Amino acid sequence: MDIDFAILADGAEVAGEKLFVLGGGWTLIWTREMPATHRGSVSVGIRVGWQETNQRHSLGIEIRDADGNLVQEIARGEFEAGRPPGIKPGSDQLVMLAANVDFKLETLGDFAVVIEVDGTEMKRLPYQVVRVNPAGQILPPGDQSAH
């Protein structure tokens, strides 16, 4: 099993075995005030090998800070990839997920969305939360004012 792709975006949806992404690939969240909320999405494509199909697997997606502390749980559950009729033996299956969530911003700094499958970390999507002034200029880390 492998993570085929993972992306942070403004919005995403899986429909008809396709992933539709709006504003994908960001690594910065800009905010004028704290605490705040940022609406975004996490999209994941999991490549499930032939021998791992028709079995239940666990999935966890959470946000961790730079010290590895849990900040927010995004998704937790199970999935199973089947083998469609007539598929060539040995073929992998792609399981896709798009979770549209509110990122809860309590502090500035470095964070990562961590994706785990069957209890093993498979992927990290790093991002940074920075403060900006009303003109949209990034403020130095020590400057907590929004002037």
The pLDDT tens digits of the residues spanning 128-137 come to 999 988 887 8
CA atoms within 13 A on the CB side of 126: 5
22-57 pLDDT, tens per residue? 999 999 999 999 999 999 999 999 999 999 999 999
How is residue 72 written in tokens? 């927010």
User: Can you give the pTM of this predicted structure?
Assistant: 0.90
Of 58, 23, 42, the C-alpha closest to 96 is 42
| pLDDT score recorded for residue 137 | 83
Are the beta carbons of 8 and 41 closer than 8 angstroms?
Answer: yes
Residue 29 and residue 134: Cα distance in Å, rounded?
Answer: 15
| Alpha-carbon separation of residue 107 from 1, 78, 139, 142 (angstroms) | 34, 31, 14, 12
User: Which structural domain, as residue segments, surrounds residue 114?
Assistant: 2-131
Q: Please report whether residue 127 resides in a domain.
A: yes
Q: Please report whether residue 47 resides in a domain.
A: yes
Of 40, 62, 45, the C-alpha closest to 5 is 45
How is residue 99 written in tokens? 């979770």
Tell me the sheet residues that pair with 136: none
Q: Please report whether residue 26 resides in a domain.
A: yes
Q: Please report whether residue 74 resides in a domain.
A: yes
How is residue 136 written in tokens? 């949209």
| pLDDT score recorded for residue 143 | 62
* Model confidence band, residue 141 (pLDDT cutoffs 50, 70, 90): low
74-121 pLDDT, tens per residue? 999 999 999 999 999 999 999 999 999 999 999 999 999 999 999 999
For residue 20, which phi and psi values (nearest 5 degrees)? -110, 120
What CATH number corresponds to the domain at position 75? Answer: 2.60.40.1930
Of 134, 143, 142, the C-alpha closest to 30 is 134
Amino acid at 95: V
| pLDDT score recorded for residue 133 | 86
| Alpha-carbon separation of residue 42 from 51, 103, 112, 123, 125 (angstroms) | 27, 10, 11, 12, 9
Q: How many domains does the chain have?
A: 1
* Model confidence band, residue 142 (pLDDT cutoffs 50, 70, 90): low
Mean pLDDT along residues 61-77:
97
| pLDDT score recorded for residue 147 | 42
Q: Please report whether residue 22 resides in a domain.
A: yes
Q: Please report whether residue 76 resides in a domain.
A: yes
Residue 145 is given by DSSP the state: -
Q: Please report whether residue 85 resides in a domain.
A: yes
